[in-house]
Amino acid sequence: MDRPAILRLAPGDGHVLVEVNAACSGLLLEGPHWQEAAGVPRGTADIAVPNSVDIKITPFHEDGLGIPRLVRCGPVPGVAVNYIHPHDYAYWPSGRSPASPSLVRTPGGDLLASHDIFWGGADQNRTLLFRSRDDGASWEAAGELAPCFWGKLFCHDGILYMLGTSTEYGALLLYCSADDGASWSAPVTLLPGGSDAFGGPHKAPMPVISHAGRLWTAIDFGSWGSGGFANGLLSCACGSNLMDPTQWVCSGFTAYDPQWPGTAEGPSVGCLEGNAVPMPDGSIGNILRYQTDHASPSYGLALALRGDPSQPGQPLVFSHTLPFPGNLSKFSILYDPVSACYWSIATRITGDPIWRRDRLSLLRSRDLSEFTLVCDVLELPDAVAREGLEHIGLQYVDFIIEGEDILFVCRTAVNEAHNFHNANHLTFHRIHHFRTL
């Protein structure tokens, strides 16, 4: 018999959803001064537990125990897709924090979300998948991919793909699925790997877009350990076999130059985690997170590089800097042809301390000369007052536009995460009628 296992935890205010595998016949719950054993139906059990205390949940069947999991309940924004307690080693050695959210509508009509499992110094090579059959109201475990880190889900010509690295600065890999994510191919290697000391492929779940007959996505080369990143675009013809590595073209990597006009004054490691976007003049752009935290101004600028779609192998050139109030952490940008605007959801910086990540804002641009605030879509003042800024994180959003709404997933730290960066939740959210806001 298979070992009993917990596949997914989704805590909320005074309760936790526990999804188990078919081998599980019950759960042992242990907390301060009490314990109880409960049978669970095959699938998901909704169990009442107190807030603000650590609960250990151990799956069992008649032949033994499974791996115990930890959970701490409390109010959670949006819909909790998955949770990993900062002292839960169930996914070690990959890590113990859900990171790198990604979201896609599959060819079969489901929503599929993913996150990798992160921790500094860990292997960082495992990604979990989750499916919603009711437009995000509820979720279920949908398997995993390994090796996979920084993975981005996307669809093209009725096929589902996952683009990620084998680990931090590892080889750039591409998986595909012809059955809506029920099974996955072996990966193909698009770029060789490197290391933190010398640099290697770097990315996040950045948009994969179609423009001028090609698919485009941003890619960096470098590392924090080697002193920074250079930036490029990876692309292939829309009609090509995406699983043939020879069909992909890398633009080469453009290093940051502090002499570019309009850049911040002072030290900067440059740019990373760019967005491939169609530029207003028909060229292809890369709008980048710009690390200005030790420069002047210390925040409020993004940076744009530009490429020629007819010469995808040529390095990008500097285009311009632009006002952007969320430049110190990863953000995504999508062009919406209905409104003829570019939209972003960013962790907006509102002042000291500039590292704070407690507010998500919807931003809009008509021509990529600047982004302006539409509205704040999520903030947690009660959680900040209770736990402090250092433990609250709303960050690294990945989103899709569907009809009148924006759907997004967020790397969310709340209810005593390790810190704002090392989050403990993947959460799902919807912005209704976003064009009218």
Question: How does pLDDT run across 46-72, given as a tens digit for each residue?
Answer: 999 999 999 999 999 988 999 999 999
Residue 391 to residue 393: CA distance in whole angstroms: 7
pLDDT in tens, 299-322: 999 999 999 999 999 999 999 999
Q: What is the pLDDT of residues 143-194, one digit of tens each?
A: 999 999 999 999 999 999 999 999 999 999 999 999 999 999 999 999 999 9
CATH domain 75-436 topology? Neuraminidase (2.120.10)
- pLDDT confidence band for 38 (50 / 70 / 90): confident
As to burial, measured by CB atoms within 10 angstroms (0-12 exposed, 13-18 middle, 19+ buried), residue 386 is: middle
Of 260, 247, 313, the residue nearest 288 (C-alpha): 260
List the beta strands (DSSP E) in 1-83: 6-12, 15-20, 26-31, 34-39, 44-48, 54-61, 64-65, 69-72, 79-83
Give Cα 226 distance to the centre of its chain. 24
d(CA 308, CA 211): 11
Range name among 18-32, 80-94, 402-416 with the lowest pLDDT average: 18-32
Domains in the chain: boundaries: 75-436
Nearest to 201 by CA among 174, 183, 240: 174
- The answer, yes or no, to whether residue 32 has pLDDT greater than 90, is no
Look at residue 394 and tell me whether its pLDDT is greater than 70.
yes
227 forms bridges with which residues in the sheet?
none
Read off the pLDDT of each residue in 335-348 and give the average, rounded to a whole number: 98
> How far is 318 from 288, CA to CA, in rounded Å?
11
Q: Are 385 and 404 in contact (CB under 8 A)?
A: no
The residues with which 128 forms a beta bridge, in sequence order, are: 115, 144
